[in-house]
Structures are given as C-alpha cells and as structure tokens.
Amino acid sequence: MKIGTMRSIDYWLGVPLCFFLSGFNFFAKIFSFKAKRKNAPPRILFIKLSELGAIALAYPLFTRIKEEYPSAELFFVTFEKSRDIFKLLKGVVADENVLGIRDDSIGVFILDTFKVIKRLRREKFDIVFDLDFFSRFTAILAYLAKADKRAGFYRYTFEGLYRGSLLTHKFQYNPLNHVSKTYLSLSQAARQERKDTPESDSSIGDKEIVLPQYISEGRIQEAMRERLKASGINAGSKLFLLNPGEGLLPLREWPLDNFIALSKRLLEDKNNYIIIIGKDEAFKKGELILKAAGASRCLNFSGKTSLEELMGLFNIAEALISNDCGLAHLAMLSPVKKFVIFGPESPQVFGPLGKNNWIIYSNWPCSPCLSAFNHRKSSCRDNKCLKAINPEDVYRLIKKACEN
C-alpha cells in the first residue's frame, strides 16, 4: 500500500477505534480481574511496522531489555517486508517470534492483522513496547495484546496525533533527542507500575547507545565479488554505492540531477565504479543515472540484492552516498564510509550512529518540517533545503574522506 493510503486508514479508522477502545478500557478496568502468570519467564512484545532503519536504531532498547530480563521471550510485530532485518540483528528475536503483516493490498493487510491479533491474545504478554510514533494502528495492536504494561509515545500537552488512552506507560516524544535515546527511555516502563506524567527517571548517556557490528559471511562477500567481477569490476577498484531514493517520500530526496553530477565527478577517476542500490522503486532512477553518467563503470543493482547481499556490498565498498533513509541506518552496522544527505528531517534526531559518518545538511531555517508530530507530511512543495546542497561540495567531501 502507498504511504498516503496507510495514513488515511490510520486516521479515518484509527481515530474512532482509539476513542471507542479508550472508553471500553475505562470501564473494563473497573470490573475486570486478570490473574497473573506465576513462575513463568516474562513475555515481551515490540511493535514497529515499517522503517528498517528505525528498527536498527532501537537496538539499544532490545539489548537493555535482554540484560534486565535474561530469561524473557521476545516477540516482534512488523510488516512482512521488514522481517529480514532480524537476520542482521542476530540474537534479538527468534525467527518464529517475528509476526509479519503483509501490506500488498488492503484485503491482505486486514487478513494478516486479524491473524496477528489472534496470536497476540494467545501469547499472554507481560509488556508491550509500541515503537511507532503516534500511529493509532500500533496503539490498538498494543492494547489488544492484553499486556499489563503497554508503553509508547503520548502527546501530553503537545498538539501531537491522537491515540486515545490505550497505553499504561505514556512517554513523551522528544523531537530534539536522537531517536535511539528516545527508544531507550521506554525501558523505564519495565520498572514502573504506571506512567502518566512526562518526566523521565534518569538521563541517557551516549555510552549507553550500543550498536551491533554485522560482518557478512565470507561466502556472501565472495559471491558479491564474483558477481562484480562478472560485470567487469576488478578486485582493486573502488566501489561507491549510491542510493538516489525510491520516491516514497520525494520531499527528502536529493535531486536526481545532483546525483548524476556527482556520479560524473566520481567516474573521472578510472579506478572508481558506481553501484546504484535500493528497492525496486529506485530502478528507474538508477537507469537514468547510468544513461547520463556512462554505463561502462556504473551498475544498477536496485531491487537485485537481498538484505544480506546488500550488507556484503557495504563490507567491501569504499563509501555509501545516500538520502536520509533506512539504508543509511543499516549501513551503520558495517564499516563503510557513509555520506548521508539531510533536508526536511533533522540529523540530530535521525542521523546514523557509530563511526565513519559524514552528515550533509544545509540547515535551512524551515528545516526540519517532517516529524512525528505531522506524520511526516509537510506542506512544503519545493525542497530548497536539499537543492541548496551542491554536488561539487559533496564530491570534495567524499574525495577528502576517502583519501585519508
């Protein structure tokens, strides 16, 4: 389904459902009694439907929960297309405990949702962490899971999106903090009976943000090298990965002409090769770059690699040049140099973590205009904040970083 369709469903169906379930919850608490499970390892559920990068940024929360509850059984609800992220975040959630919802069509989405709800109610969870920002759908899933503790983000006095009163532990979303720290703050829910006020128990230091380092298997790296060799790329060549975007959120994508100009500059060095990466939707953009920049040392792998193969590329490439997107966050699990272009969103909140990161941001006064508070939907029709970023400046930054 398209992002606009999902937003419409979340609003027109989500608002009345949140309102109805909030009223039902008010009266149910008065008359209900729930027997607690005795001497059983806790069952903990995380919900985050989309955005592979955001799931990777929640890794510090997963590790904190596993440290505090080593015997806990962890579950995760996400879109089916996001399932492969857990192959990279090894040991976080067992494959059989990842519950996928397909979003190919409205009918399939509804069918899978009912199947997941049925499974959630059968599992009898102790804690649910809703990792989505103000999505009504995930708040409804969290409530229907029937856990004693349901933690997620709440607007309090902000003019955020209405989600009803389905959460027992309401955390204030901070639009100035990095999202990894915002997620980690949710771990406090496990230590509190309820939370109905916005203040946190303690600060979260930079040292608490830990990330896994994913080194792809040797066979995968070797297979990618053989694939590149078959395309005429020698072992000593420098690989530059470009992700021009899939058009899902065009407002945050650097203009295609700028990617073409940058590609031409990179290809001036006869030892450099460019590989276009991304989902199927990026393929057409990749073909335009090939045509304009010269196809002899430029390959289009958009939609032609698995997630593990993509990580194999990250481990053998010189650099990744990308818009602000999930791929940039997945790349932070590897040692590849990352040059990430930000415009209508803030790198202070969504910037990749770890080493070898170069943030390219024009810092216009109107940016950021996309946030959790507006469901990442801006009235801007001309992303001048991105157009102001000069390809020549980006090239010089890349050249200097890759020479060191």
Question: What are 342-377's pLDDT values in tens digits?
Answer: 999 989 998 988 889 999 999 899 999 988 877 778
Indicate whether 320 pLDDT > 90.
yes
pTM confidence score: 0.87
Q: State how far the Cα of 340 lies from the Cα of 354, in Å rounded to an integer.
A: 13
DSSP letter (8 states) at residue 99: E
The answer on pLDDT for 404 being more than 70 is no
For residue 34, name the pLDDT band (cuts at 50, 70, 90): low
pLDDT at 385: 93
Q: How confident is the model at residue 338 (pLDDT cuts 50, 70, 90)?
A: very high
- Per-residue CA distances from 364 to 337, 369, 385, 386, 390 (Å): 25, 10, 6, 9, 14
Q: How far apart are CA 290 and CA 275, in angstroms?
A: 10
On the 0-12 / 13-18 / 19+ scale of CB atoms within 10 A, 114 is exposed
Q: Any idea which fold 218-403 has?
A: Rossmann fold (3.40.50)
User: Where in the chain is CATH 3.40.50.2000?
Assistant: 3-26+40-208, 218-403
Mean of pLDDT values over 113-142: 93
pLDDT tens for each residue of 283-306? 899 999 998 987 788 999 998 988
Residue with tokens 């990617």: 259
For residue 35, pLDDT over 90 is answered with no
pLDDT-based confidence at 386, cuts 50/70/90?
Answer: very high
Best CATH choice for the domain 3-26+40-208 from the list 3.40.50.2000, 2.40.50.140, 2.60.120.10, 3.40.50.280: 3.40.50.2000
Model pLDDT for residues 55-85, shown as the tens digit of each residue: 999 999 999 999 999 999 999 999 998 898 8
**Quick one: pLDDT at residue 212?**
77
Q: Is the pLDDT of residue 37 over 70?
A: no
Average pLDDT, rounded, for the chain:
88
pLDDT band at 92 (very low <50, low <70, confident <90, very high): confident
Cα torsion 344, 397, 270, 222: sign: negative
Q: What percent of the chain has pLDDT over 70?
A: 96
